[in-house]
Amino acid sequence: MKRSNLLTEWLPPLVVIVAVFAIWEAGVALLRVPEFILPGPTAVWVALVKWREAIWFNASQTLYTTLVGFAMALVGGMGLGLAIGYSTLVYRALYPLLVAFNSVPKAAIVPVLVIWFGIGTIPAILTAFLISFFPIVVNVATGLATLEPELQDVLRSLGASKRVIFLKVGIPRSLPYFFASLKVSVTLAFVGAVISETVAANKGIGYLMIAASSRFEVPLVFAGLIVVAAMGVALFAFFAVIEHRLTSWAYRGPALTV
Amino acid sequence: MTNLTVEETFVRLDNVTLDYQHEGQVVRAVEDVSLTVRRGEFVVVAGPSGCGKTTLLKVLAGLVVPGRGSASVGNVQVRGPQKNVGMAFQNPILLPWRKVMDNVLLPMEVVTPHKERFRRHRAEYVAQAQELLASVGLSGFDDRHPWQISGGQQQRASLCRALIHNPEILLLDEPFGALDAFTREELWQVLQDLWMQRRFTVLLVTHDLREAVFLADTVYVMSTRPGRIVSRTVVDVPRPRTLEDTFSAQFTETYHEIRRQIGEVLGR
């Protein structure tokens, strides 16, 4: 049982990843692509090891800004999502503005944030927050909006107030939606932090990549990209596990996605 | 047939008419419906689908307000949701994140005076719920989640949830409609047993006439939309009724009589 799990779950992605690296390495070697255009995986690995201290320092900065921004989005998104789901008036009043706000490319906001807060940590945190906020709001509000009317009738026929229905049914019912949004949202927060760092920062993995590319240290740029991707996967996986643990009742069949 | 000597009217609908809006059009769900139910009586409202049977239950539960006419329970006019009412629907609609026990106990967390004592006297309520679950044949399932039990078992749990706070009135909206024939007939008996022990007042709507005759003291037949009461039939088959009784002459006679009334309603 355990062994077959290992085979069916972990082997296919592992094979694909190894194959991609192998094709990449072979392609670069066969076509003699110069290292400053596209370094092979081994060159990237060498850069990764050589610059490990700088990478570690900058990656932890990015992780910090991502998580602070994400925590803000989590609290704000849950709150606003519940408010929108609870009250039709709040929904009507705020929804168009929220959609409009979400349509603005966040990269365009970074310069404004820099004017307000200067170069550094705060714009990165705020960009992470702004970009990851919306999916949480929409998901929580959707969870509340899709409440079955019969479920409400059961409680209303007992004389339950709107507040009680909200607490007993609304919030638990919206939790799977909330947790589903977290894994998407946290990767977005990460993207936001990196974007902000590439535009205006003096540390962080985005800053590291920009600095490396201006010096034609292309293997280091790719090392940065790999680290970014790995951190994104790690954050996604972390919240996917939390989601599964806390709302297992919503995942009773064989899962289509994780 | 019931051991009640006082013919006391407990639930009463007086000339209830109710319209609702559907895609900009006014649809009349029920028209000029009057009926009375004695305390402890088992009343079945039978009729073709879409005749506004559900609407009647919602009026009684205080979930919708009739446009004309009025509903009263125990001589008090229904103006809003009632707390002495238990409801169960065709779908069991249990809360999937709660185990069977916690689903059954849900009304206790909501209804006064239970909700104030619920936390401190939880054990007492759990014992009550266990007794109720046992009486519907669900002993040992209280620790399961709803999706881990069958449809029939879910419906049993749903019945328990409707009854846990000892409501005076039980409103059932085609509660056995989605079950297979064997489970359905078994649950008729479960419901009859519960009712004979506890003597709550029942209003059940269904389109299954065997179910109507098996369970009812009185069957009201409703017309197609807009729903009106077209006849009232007293079922005299002695209780407790068994599945064997459904083949008796008296049962089939009553069944055919009601079937004929429905046939007239449908114009066939």
For B165-217, the pLDDT digits (tens) are 999 999 999 999 888 999 999 999 999 999 999 999 999 999 899 999 999 99
Contacts of B171 in chain A (CB under 8 A): 157
Of B91, B54, B92, the residue nearest B207 (C-alpha) = B54
* The predicted structure's pLDDT at residue B200: 93
Give the residue from A148, A153, A158 with the most B CB atoms within 10 Å of its CB, the best one to mutate.
Answer: A158
Domains of chain B listed by start with CATH number: 1-77+171-176+201-268 (3.40.50.300), 85-167 (3.40.50.300)
Among the residue ranges A141-150, B4-13, B98-107, B108-117, the one predicted with the least confidence is B4-13
Give the residue from A148, A150, A154 with the most B CB atoms within 10 Å of its CB, the best one to mutate.
Answer: A154
The answer to whether residue A84 scores a pLDDT higher than 60 is yes
Tell me the pLDDT tens digit for each residue of A72-83: 999 999 999 999
Give the residue from B97, B115, B145, B173 with the most A CB atoms within 10 Å of its CB, the best one to mutate.
Answer: B97
CB contact under 8 A, A151 and B93: yes
Tell me the pLDDT tens digit for each residue of A10-44: 888 899 999 999 999 999 999 988 888 899 999 99
* The predicted structure's pLDDT at residue A35: 85
Tell me the pLDDT tens digit for each residue of A162-204: 888 888 888 888 888 898 899 889 999 999 999 999 988 889 9
The answer to whether residue B58 scores a pLDDT higher than 70 is yes
Contacts of B157 in chain A (CB under 8 A): none
* The predicted structure's pLDDT at residue B23: 81
Q: For chain A, which residues lie within 8 Å of any Cβ of chain B, measuring from their own Cβ? A: 148, 150-151, 153-160, 164, 168-169, 172-173, 175, 247, 249-250, 252
Contacts of A175 in chain B (CB under 8 A): 97
Residue B82 token pair? 């009632």
Contacts of A247 in chain B (CB under 8 A): 97
| Residue A127 amino acid letter | T
Cβ neighbours of A55 (radius 10 Å): 20
Of A144, A249, A149, the residue nearest B87 (C-alpha) = A149
CA pair distance A175, B109, nearest whole angstrom: 20
Establish, for the pair of chains A and B, how many residue pairs have beta carbons separated by less than 8 Å: 64
The beta-carbon contacts of B50-55 under 8 Å, at least 24 apart in sequence, are B50/B224, B50/B225, B51/B222, B51/B223, B51/B224, B51/B225, B51/B227, B52/B18, B52/B222, B52/B225, B52/B226, B52/B227, B53/B173, B53/B205, B53/B206, B53/B222, B53/B227, B54/B173, B54/B205, B55/B18, B55/B29, B55/B30, B55/B227
Smallest Cβ distance to A160: which of B61, B97, B110? B110
Contacts of B71 in chain A (CB under 8 A): none
Tell me the pLDDT tens digit for each residue of B115-158: 888 888 889 899 999 999 998 988 889 899 998 899 899 999 99
Do residues A137 and A73 touch, judged by C-beta distance below 8 A? no
**Contacts (Cβ under 8 Å, ≥6 apart) of A106:** A127, A130, A131, A192, A195
| Residue A53 amino acid letter | E
The answer to whether residue A1 scores a pLDDT higher than 60 is no
CB contact under 8 A, B63 and A153: yes
Do residues A152 and A169 touch, judged by C-beta distance below 8 A? yes
Instruction: Tell me whether the omega of the peptide bond preceding residue B113 falls within 30 degrees of 0, making it cis.
Output: yes
Contacts of B86 in chain A (CB under 8 A): 157
Contacts of B89 in chain A (CB under 8 A): 150, 153-154
Name the band, by pLDDT with cuts 50, 70 and 90, for residue B2: very low
The string of DSSP letters for B110-148 reads TSTTHHHHTTTTHHHHHHHHHHHHHHTT-TT-TTS-GGG
* The predicted structure's pLDDT at residue A3: 59
Q: How far is A249 from chain B (nearest CA, A)?
A: 5
CATH fold, domain A45-250, is MetI-like fold (1.10.3720)
Q: How far is B250 from chain A (nearest CA, A)?
A: 37
Residue B227 token pair? 């729903």
CB contact under 8 A, B87 and A153: yes
